[in-house]
Amino acid sequence: MLNLNGKTLLRSALFAVACSTALMGGPVMSQDQVPQWVPGEPYPREGLRAYACHDYNLPCGKMGSPEIEQVKYTGPRDGDAEKGERIALNVRWGNCLACHSLPKGHEGGTIGPNLSNYGARGLPFEYTFQRIWDGRVYSPNAHMPVYGPNGVLSVEDILDVIAFIESGK
Ligand code: HEC
């Protein structure tokens, strides 16, 4: 169990990224380090790990998966819903919309359950955090990317996304 909380939050998150780096044998990049991709050109291979991978047939899906990580976040729950919305809609970041309908009338894919009124369902925060960090703890074979262990979303990004999906009542 990896503990993530307030002051030690960033350090723990970096530690998690460092572990998965070791496991996958390559660097994990943050959003601002991602190489430029020109639409129509092949995606720069060194950038593949920095995105959620949605298909095992794509090169990113053949890169091996990090070990399942169960986490416990105990810090402040102060995500920014507006930033969370941007992360969720951005196809090169969270891209939650590819599989889920989301609050504020965003109609998305139907591979995952509809999250447009997620806030009204009153699910525990810990559950939601773990689902997004690494949902394999609940459903090992579900078609949802593993966002935490491979460094696609930081702890802060996940808090923002949670604030956004919790805003849907
Ligand atoms: C490639 C498809 C896909 C993407 C992209 C995706 N999800 Fe999911 N998600 C799923 C599936 C499938 C499930 C259902 C898992 C199951 O049945 O156990 C799920 C379940 C969930 C749940 C649990 C819902 C419940 O009713 O318990 C949450 C919360 C969630 N996803 C949030 C997100 C967020 C936030 C993002 C973006 C950061 C995201 N998902 C991106 C496919 C996806």
* 2 Cβ neighbours under 8 A, 6+ residues apart: 12, 15, 16, 69, 70, 71, 72
How confident is the model at residue 55, as a pLDDT? 72
Centre of ligand 1 from the C-alpha of residue 144, in Å:
5
Neighbours of 145 (CB within 10 A): 23
- Mean pLDDT in each 10-residue stretch from start to end of the chain (169 residues)? 53 40 43 60 63 71 80 93 96 91 97 96 96 91 84 92 97
How confident is the model at residue 132, as a pLDDT? 96
Centre of ligand 1 from the C-alpha of residue 88, in Å:
11
How confident is the model at residue 160, as a pLDDT? 97
Domain count, the chain: 1
CA 4 to CA 73: how far, in whole Å? 4
Centre of ligand 1 from the C-alpha of residue 97, in Å:
10
Phi–psi pair at 111, nearest 5 degrees:
-65, -40
Phi-psi region of 138 (alpha: psi -120 to 50; beta: other; left: phi over 0): alpha
Beta-bridged to residue 71, according to DSSP, are 2
Global pTM reads 0.79
Angle, alpha carbons 94-96-99 (nearest 5°): 145
For 71, the 3-state DSSP assignment is: strand
Range of the domain at 111: 2-166
Torsion of CA 127, 156, 60, 24, to 10 degrees: -90
Residue 106 and residue 98 in contact, taking contact as beta carbons nearer than 8 Å: no
Residue with the smallest CA separation from ligand 1 atom 43 is: 144
How confident is the model at residue 35, as a pLDDT? 61
Ligand 1 near 88 CB (within 6 A): yes
Ligand 1 near 84 CB (within 6 A): no
Residue with the smallest CA separation from ligand 1 atom 41 is: 96
CATH code for the domain of 63:
1.10.760.10
Residue 148 and residue 133 in contact, taking contact as beta carbons nearer than 8 Å: yes
CA 24 to CA 36: how far, in whole Å? 22
H/E stretch holding 85 reads helix 81-89
Residue with the smallest CA separation from ligand 1 atom 39 is: 96
CA 102 to CA 142: how far, in whole Å? 19
